[in-house]
Structure 1
Amino acid sequence: MNAKEVDGAAIFRAGAFRRRIAWVFALQFVAVAIVCVMGAYDQAPLPAAIAVIVIVTGLAWLATRREWRSVSALARLIREWHDGLSDPAALRPERLPQDADADLVALAYGLHGFAARIADYGQRERNFTRDASHELRTPLTVIRMAVDMLADEDGLGECGRRSVRRIHRATRELEALVEVLLILARESDPGGTAERFVVNDVLRRELETARDLMSGSSVELQLEEPARFALHGSARAFSVLCWQLIRDACQHADTGRVVVTVLPGAITVSHAAAGAAPIRPGDERLSFELAIAQRISDRFAWPLELHAPGKPGVARVRFPETLPAAAA
């Protein structure tokens, strides 16, 4: 049923439900009033008057239940519809009873359109993640392999090597960005398969990658491990979250150290940049890296605290559910 047909139905049947319910209660009132008057003038015995009132009330309830049948039919269609598993055609207005009120038909039409848009959105999400995963990762892999081969050339000058390092770093950062966007784009399966992993091991790999990308920089990366624990979730999402925090800290600390600390049930990323003011989620000054980290923490329920009071330049991620390192 299109919008024009729904408008026509609204003109023909608008308020039909309310009118029928009004007739039911009006007839019930008249019947009860007649019985009461007859009982007051001793024209009908009391048991008979009570019996008539009970019968009239029961008939009114049955009539009201019959009028509510269209609403129950629509509620049943909505209960049986599941996003991604059901056909949006299940919510088409044609599946309602023929005597349905126009307001109910309009509601069913709106729900059908909304369900169709949700189904289209889910299909676009699957198409995007599939195409982006293949069409973006493949050329990036080719570029990275070509840059690695070019870096091994003996006749490459210092200027060329600096350019190769910049290309290599930009390629790795673009790979991480693509991975982040794919994780955030996947609603049904964010971040890939859940697994058990030790956070210390993942952080050690991320810091090695960061040191490789920041070769020649005056920033020193350091890992402190007063604690050791494991998580059950997406190791890739965790590594991307940590990489975004490390990138943000390195951008603020042009010189000095960036320290990643593993605490019981939490990790912190700190730098010694002077004059770093506290930044809170939603602040307009939030960098792109912190914004991405905030979205990942919200998706996986890993609370992110940015620049804790009294410790400027600190980002802390807490993990409500941790496992012993031996569990991984």
Structure 2
Amino acid sequence: MTKKGAPTQRARSARGGFHRRLLLIFGLQLVAIVLACLMGYYDVAPVGAVLALIVIVSSLAWLAAQRAWHSVSVLAQLVGSWHEGQVDPAALRPDRLPRHVDADVAMLAHSFHRFANRIAGYNERERNFTRDASHELRSPLTVIKMSTDMLADEPGLSDFGKRSVERIRRATREMEALVEAMLILAREADNGQSEQDFVVNDVLRDELIDAREMLHGHPIELQFEEPAAFALHGSPRVFAVLCWQLIRHASQYTGQGTVLVTVLPGVVSVCATAGTDHDPHLPGQQGFEYAIARRISERFAWPLDLRVQGGNSYVAEIRFPQPLPVPA
């Protein structure tokens, strides 16, 4: 116990040495300047010699302070050369500091090194999770899709069996969209999606085809209006997942009726109107789909505004700060 605590006690006693060293340097400088001024005042030394002595003392004090500051400068360079995505935090190893380093600087270096190791561990676990989840979740979904397609073509399948197959198929597609959204949000540094210029209207048309299939059997009509058109630079898959989550949320809010998707200049809106017997609520306060849409919008800096108008009219708007013109 004594052996284990002795180095810690010595480290604690050595902490603050950097400040004491600076105090000693500038204290000696002050004493030397005062003595030089007194020598000049009492004509012990000529004025030129006094000025030269002050310059020499100040230069020596500056060099001593620079030497004391060197370890801090080296640590700053090490921290500046390290970045969060760097897997190996070896750049922050404390042994890269000068040999005779102040205890405060050494403690700071150890803390940065431990922090860098934790960040590297988080990044490694993130990569492992997204890789394993992408494979282990998508593979069974693919098998389920293939099996339902084969089962749907089976001759002699009863009407109840066909309805069951369609429900399984819709649930599988919804699960695919959910897995895609969760993987997008799980990736911290890289969204895992290839960025490109895409036309918002084209992506929405394709997404609405799949959305109508997934909403098949529900008393909901999905409409699309495009009085405007614009393009974006980013991931079309991320954009499609965001819009699908809002469509799902609007469909659950209204229960039945019409869900209207509209493309305006730099804005995509999703509107739905609930029936008169519908118990209205503020959809932004509940709903897993909206929570995912909100997190995606915050991740990619696409502001999302959700409100209820007239007690039963659901309006969600996604604004895109940097829309691009549609290529001719």
TM-score (structure 1 length as normaliser): 0.91
Letter of the 1:147 counterpart? T
Separation in structure 1 between the aligned mates of residue 121 and residue 87 of structure 2, nearest angstrom: 13
Q: Which deviates more from structure 2 when the two are superposed, residues 183-192 or residues 87-96?
A: 183-192
Distance 1:4 1:236, change over 3 A: farther
Q: CA deviation at 1:158?
A: 2.7
Q: CA deviation at 1:43?
A: 1.7
Summarize the alignment of residues 63-212 of structure 1 with structure 2, pairs less than 5 Å apart: 63-85=64-86, 87-212=88-213
TM-score (structure 2 length as normaliser): 0.91
Q: CA deviation at 1:248?
A: 0.2
Separation in structure 2 between the aligned mates of residue 324 and residue 5 of structure 1, nearest angstrom: 69
Q: CA deviation at 1:170?
A: 1.4
Separation in structure 2 between the aligned mates of residue 127 and residue 31 of structure 1, nearest angstrom: 63
Q: CA deviation at 1:152?
A: 2.3
Q: CA deviation at 1:109?
A: 0.4
Distance 1:88 1:232, change over 3 A: same
Q: CA deviation at 1:85?
A: 3.6
Paired position in structure 2 for 1:265: 266
Is residue 289 of structure 2 the alignment partner of residue 289 of structure 1?
yes
Letter of the 1:207 counterpart? L
- Contact kept, 8 Å, 1:277 with 1:307, in 2: the verdict is no
Letter of the 1:53 counterpart? I
Q: Which deviates more from structure 2 when the two are superposed, residues 12-21 or residues 116-125?
A: 12-21
Separation in structure 2 between the aligned mates of residue 5 and residue 298 of structure 1, nearest angstrom: 50
Q: Which deviates more from structure 2 when the two are superposed, residues 219-228 or residues 37-46?
A: 37-46
Q: CA deviation at 1:243?
A: 0.4
Is residue 264 of structure 2 the alignment partner of residue 250 of structure 1?
no
Identity %: 58
Paired position in structure 2 for 1:46: 47
Q: Secondary structure at the match of 1:173?
A: helix
How many residues align structurally?
321
Q: Secondary structure at the match of 1:260?
A: strand
Paired position in structure 2 for 1:220: 221
- Contact kept, 8 Å, 1:200 with 1:229, in 2: the verdict is yes
Paired position in structure 2 for 1:233: 234
Paired position in structure 1 for 2:301: 301
Q: Secondary structure at the match of 2:222?
A: strand
Q: CA deviation at 1:279?
A: 5.3
Q: Secondary structure at the match of 1:305?
A: strand
- Give the superposed CA RMSD: 2.1
Q: Gaps (5+ residues) in structure 2?
A: none
Separation in structure 2 between the aligned mates of residue 315 and residue 278 of structure 1, nearest angstrom: 12
- Contact kept, 8 Å, 2:253 with 2:283, in 1: the verdict is no
Q: CA deviation at 1:239?
A: 0.4
Q: CA deviation at 1:210?
A: 1.7
